[in-house]
Amino acid sequence: MTRPAIVVAGLCARMLAESARRAGWRVIALDLFGDSDTRGAAQRWHPVGQAATLALDPARTRAALERASFEPGVMGWIAGSGFEACPALLRTPIAGLPLIGNAAPAHDAMRMPSRFFSMLSEHGIAFPDTRMEPPPDMSGWLRKEASGTGGWHIRLADSANGSAHDARDGVYYQRFCEGRPMSALFLADGRHATVLGINEQLVSRHGEHPFAWRGAIGPVQVGAPLADAVRHAVQAIVAASGLVGLNSLDFLSDGEGCVVLEVNARPSATMALYDCDPHAPLLARHVRACQGESLETREVEAVEAVEGAIAHTPPVRGQLVVFAQEDYAITPAFEDQARRLGWCHDIPVAGSAIAAGTPLCTVSAACAPGTSVDAVRATLAARAAAIEPLLKVSHERSFAPR
């Protein structure tokens, strides 16, 4: 009997493809990079945009999804990152290929700033001072775009180009707030939600982008007030919007409360920190929740899991995106050596051209329970620093005279 097939799509589909393969499905992956990990996890891979643009090509993506709809035994498709900029792909059904995730109304409730922040206000959930029009004095304000992802869309409002395209739909302004950048990965069934873990976001300047997402560390241990505030925010948002499947909440914290920034209405990159049980891949739970499985029957299990976590702290994991410092042509030697490391992912295939300033790969770390965030961060930084010299050495060996 032919195994069911599933389509995973996004800017980078590696994480989704690997989880889908662990679930026992045949995988068709659509993304920008086609790295060796993604191709290894998928039965087939198709490009849906240019890697250097860090954006999906709507026409190519739509065409690839339509082709995939003819795959025998295909269950549907799952949208990852990047669809924030082309929501029409989520709204237009494809015959024979249902979307396994949030429908357009729930997605729009998260991505339309006026609706999202009004909903937070109605439920007493804290968020930064937010305006749809430019403030008279832009100092201390950020300019954001609802179509963005990964922090690439965030600018200082008083920067030289901060006022450009102010008339564009989805542009809004938020007052800058101090706080620890964090996120919560959660699973929802349209009415209820279970928080799977709370993470620290690794955010830093990258070129002209002052708040670029570089990675995450989790689960992090937090106090009861913050955990309660996160659970309240997640539950209220799910009940008001009907979110289903895996989603993530981005917020700032002062240690006790949370100030909500946005919700990613899709599986987020932080699922890689938790998708470590080969017998219970997270993408399988995502599919079941999207297909109507209620979380109510799992509430007792969730309580027991939380109580058990107090006595048995889970390992702390981290991931960090490594950006190329210069242009590179990937050699077979680098691809092979990077794979041997065991903690390098999203490894570009030999022959790939990587432009300076674009993602090169991802490094990860799995540390003992109780390891501090600073220690995990240091491990990630050391591993990231080892990648570029390895690439240079492999390049020199490949082209050395024989």
Phi, psi dihedral angles at 281 (to 5 degrees): -60, 140
Looking at the fold, whether 278 and 362 belong to one and the same domain comes out as no
Structure tokens at 10: 């996004």
Looking at the fold, whether 243 and 285 belong to one and the same domain comes out as yes
What SS3 class is residue 228?
A: helix
pLDDT at position 165, please?
Answer: 44
pLDDT at position 312, please?
Answer: 54
pLDDT at position 297, please?
Answer: 54
CA distance 110 to 112: 6
- The answer to whether 84 and 104 have CB atoms below 8 angstroms apart is no
* CATH code: domain of residue 30: 3.40.50.20
CA distance 175 to 161: 17
Looking at the fold, whether 296 and 195 belong to one and the same domain comes out as yes
Last residue of a domain, one of 157, 176, 195: 176
Q: How many domains does the chain have?
A: 4
DSSP element (H, E) containing 178 = none
The domain of 375 spans 316-398
Looking at the fold, whether 225 and 351 belong to one and the same domain comes out as no
Residue by residue, pLDDT tens for the chain (402 residues) are: 689 999 999 999 999 999 999 999 999 999 999 999 999 999 999 999 999 899 999 999 999 999 999 999 999 999 999 999 999 999 999 999 999 999 999 999 999 999 999 999 999 999 999 999 999 999 999 999 999 999 888 999 987 454 454 545 689 999 999 999 999 999 999 999 999 999 999 999 998 889 999 999 999 999 999 999 999 999 999 999 999 999 999 999 998 899 999 999 999 999 999 998 888 899 999 999 999 999 875 543 444 444 444 445 789 999 999 999 999 999 999 999 999 999 999 999 999 999 999 999 999 999 999 899 999 999 999 999 999 899 876 655 554 444
pLDDT at position 278, please?
Answer: 80
Looking at the fold, whether 261 and 145 belong to one and the same domain comes out as no
Sheet holding 130-131, edge to edge: 130-131, 171-175, 141-145, 155-156
User: What predicted TM-score, i.e. pTM, was given to this entire model?
Assistant: 0.93
Looking at the fold, whether 78 and 56 belong to one and the same domain comes out as yes
* CATH code: domain of residue 256: 3.30.470.20
